[in-house]
Amino acid sequence: MKIYKVKNYDEMSKKAASVIAAQIVTKPDCVLGLATGSTPIGTYECLVEKYRNGELDFSEVKTANLDEYKGLTKDNDQSYYYFMNHHLFSHVNIDMAQTNIPDGTAQDAAAECARYEDVIRSLGGVDLQVLGLGHDGHIGFNEPDDHFAAETHCVDLTEMTIEANKRFFASADDVPRQAFTMGIGTIMRARRIVFLVSGSDKAEILKKSLYGPVTPAVPASILQFHPDVVVIADEAAMAGC
């Protein structure tokens, strides 16, 4: 693991955007694994700025998002499809046909998970995966469990996640109870992982993830076994490390 401790959220975002930009420049048709949540918003802003300055070309870039809420339509402003369009895709010259997100409206969950895993495989796997960190240690929507899930699957969200994510919804009751997410195996097959963490509320779980025992009870701890992880975390998040 390469760990970069940066001053604050802005520095984290700039550094993350530089790492992603380097990936796009060195492999213009790369496959980016993308994340949602508040953590990568600044990173996407920096990437949009680089595109506007003429530093980046997304025309050949392909993407696969980590996860999607089950039951939300693409035009729901809380869907991750909407999020990606709003924060990145609609501002750059990406070919929307080359962007992939699990279909939250799929009725047959097992079929949708198998389809999504096939999509990633047919892209040749993910070159660079962006990850945030949930307060309970989740990555994507891989919640604490007694095993690591190998592939894309449908999960029941924990109370802690529902509580954390309700800020984006009218009320906790509106937060979907399930989601589709890449599995831990899917994530671990990415050739490179950029793990972004910001804020004192993540300090305890970040310490457990980076230095605690590797256990499915702290899903992010598996990253200790990945050969190419770039951790970019701010001082507040690194406070316990």
Q: How many residues does the chain have?
A: 241
- Alpha-carbon gap, residue 128 to 143, rounded angstroms: 22
Q: Which of 13, 23, 36, 43 binds ligand GLP (CB under 6 A)?
A: 36
Q: Among 49, 60, 103, 136, which one carries the catalytic annotation?
A: 136
Task: Count the Cβ atoms, other than its own, within 10 Å of residue 227.
Answer: 9
Spatial separation of the C-alpha atoms in residues 173 and 158, rounded to whole Å: 13
Which of 63, 65, 161, 209 binds ligand GLP (CB under 6 A)? It is 161
Contacting residue, 102, 137, 140, 183, with ligand GLP by CB under 6 A:
140
Measure the CA–CA gap between 56 and 189, rounded to whole angstroms.
26
Q: Kindly tell me which residue out of 16, 19, 32, 35 binds ligand GLP, with binding defined by CB under 6 A.
A: 35
* Segment contacting ligand GLP by CB under 6 A, of 22-30, 43-51, 129-137, 146-154: 129-137
Contact 112, 180 (CB under 8 A): yes
Catalytic one of 68, 87, 117, 138: 138
User: Is 143 assigned a catalytic role?
Assistant: yes
Q: Which stretch binds ligand GLP (CB under 6 A): 26-34, 127-135, 204-212, 233-241?
A: 127-135
Closer of 23 and 39 to ligand GLP (Cβ): 39
Closer Cβ to ligand GLP, 24 or 175, answer by number: 175
Give Cα 117 to chain centroid, integer Å: 16
Q: What angle do CA 153, 156, 157 make, to 5 degrees?
A: 115
* Catalytically active residues, by annotation: 67, 136, 138, 143
